[in-house]
A and B are shown apart, each in its own frame.
Chain A
Amino acid sequence: MRDFLQSLVRRKIALAGAWVLLLIAVLAVFAPLVAPYDPMGLNPIDRLQGPSAKHWFGTDHFGRDIFSRIVYGARMTIISGSGVVLCSILLGVVIGLLSGYFRGFGRIAMRLVDVVMSFPPLLLALALIAILGPGLLNVILAVSATYLTHTARIIFGLTLKIKEEAYVEAIRSIGAQSGRIIVRHLLPNLVSPVIVQATFTFAFSLLQIASLDFLGVGVPPQVPSWGNMVSEGRVYITRAPGVLLFPGIFIVLTVLSFNLVGDVLRDNLDPRFREQLSATRQ
């Protein structure tokens, strides 16, 4: 009974998380309508103000409206996060599936995956940005490099498991080709774990991208992103803590929501898959 009540409460919290994510998506899509000011509009007279009726979250060191910049920052968050998820999930699933199905290929590919996983994620991203150069696309690629290995690992494990099941053997024995087995029979079974993995990837990639922004090697500095806002505002935190506080709260809220939703999704997953996904959190 107690367990049941607890899972009900957790679902309620996760639902709240889903609403937060929806709200952020709405902010991102309708940014020009929601934002009261131009996110780039300089207004040196009103610089570093605290929250007021005029500027809800105050202004930054150029007198730009923090709320408006957060609203536009939501766009950047969604774009970069989705980019990493798309890139890392696509590649990760392909590598994981092929490695699980073709053992020879898998032995080499998984070895490489292991080696890449021994590089700390942020350092790997930094090194790749040093090579690829700055810019949004390169940031997305650099961050994806880490997360595609995580996805590949999980999908590899799951593929090994599913491959042994009777129905796969049955399909093979009636003469189905490898390509057909992978695409028509293995892949559809992996959809739900992939969705769970995508949720967590979104959460962690946001932290990672924000960190790169903070270090000054993320999206270009003139772009309003939450990480950039904290990075630019850090010099002024004693005069106007709002430049630090508000963008950070939005990062935490978004990441937390993704984690909460991901947790509940995982708990409702097919028990066969749960073990793999809980083993490789983060």
Chain B
Amino acid sequence: MLTYLGMRFFSMVPTFLLASVLIFSFMHMMPGDPAGVMLGDSATPQQVQALREAMGFARPIPVQFLRWFTGIVRGDFGESIFFRKPVLQVILERAETSLLIAVLSMALIVVVGIPIGMISAVRYNSVADQTFSGASMLAASMPTFWLGLNLMLLFAVILGWLPSSGFPSVVENGNLANLKYLILPCVTLAAPNSALIIRLTRASMLDVLKEGYVTTARAKGLSEMAVTLKHVFRNSMISVISVIGFTFVGLASGTVITETVFSLPGVGRLVVESVLRRDYPVIQGVILIIAVAYMLVNLLIDCCYSFLDPRIRVS
């Protein structure tokens, strides 16, 4: 098990390297001089020259890459052009909101998506199954921002049950009641992603239901409940877990939208603002961190896999 984990961990290294090369070259694909682009049209040639010196743009590209890359390994992502602060600090200041949203939405997706998917598969083709299938298709076809605005209009403006925007930090003043600010954003974010999990749980359970060992389990007289939970559910979870990793990417994209809709001080909002301000170091930093997080999530999933299914460990 440990050797497997070690091997899996080291196989991440080339991917990480490739990801950083890609992200770095994105920035150097920009037409013209990066320093000039960053400062905008109003900058004087002296300012451009000064920034170019400061950022090391005058040196050869491989040298620049090495400098940037060794910085990242040490946790130094450079300095934000707009905030004039280290990128990592800027990102960490916004991390609380985004992490909370991601974790709570993920919990919501699992708690809602997997049981509904199970019911749909067990009651295949019933009215319930068709209703859930239709609803999840609809949820997957809805723009996140539109759903968010509608929920905001209904629950915050018309009914007045929940706050419409903003999020006072929970960590700073320890007030857990502030979590109510995240209810609408999390529901918005969870809806389209739950749809995916529902479809997947249903499909993989239907596949498992066709297996011979399920017939055997029934034939030896196990109750339907025991067959479903012990044999079908467990075996279908393997493919569902793999999709949860996939959902992570969807969540990261979705937070950009929900944080904008509900004016939350998160990393997603930071990216949009940085794009509008052309604050490239921040964009680079966020994307690289998210890519690394995605790799780690996948690593975790592979661990779950090999735990659930020992055959994978051997091959």
Contact = CB atoms under 8 A, between A and B. Distances in A.
A230 B295 CA distance: 35
B26 A122 contact: no
B27 to A, nearest CB: 7
Nearest to B251: A120
Contacts of B18: 111-112, 115
Interface in A206-261: 207, 210-211, 214-217, 227, 230-231, 234, 237-238, 241, 244-245, 248, 251-252, 255-256, 259-260
Interface residues of A, number: 49
B95 interface: no
A119 B153 CA distance: 32
A256 B137 contact: yes
Interface residues of B, number: 54
Contacts, number: 145
Nearest to B154: A241
B125 to A, nearest CB: 6
Contact of A230 (B22, B149, B287): B149
B144 interface: yes
Contacts of B29: 131
A217 B273 CA distance: 10
Contacts of A177: none
Chain B interface SS verdict (over half) = helix
Contact of B150 (A114, A117, A248): A248
B159 interface: no
B30 A131 contact: yes
Interface of B: 14-15, 18-19, 22-23, 26-27, 29-30, 125, 130, 137-138, 140-146, 149-150, 152-153, 157, 196, 199, 203, 246, 249-250, 252-254, 256-257, 260-261, 271-272, 274-276, 278, 280, 283-284, 286-287, 290-291, 294-295
Given A115-B291, A118-B295, A278-B203, 15 more contacts: A115-B19, A118-B294, A120-B249, A123-B256, A127-B284, A130-B278, A131-B29, A203-B141, A237-B149, A237-B153, A244-B149, A248-B149, A248-B150, A251-B143, A282-B250
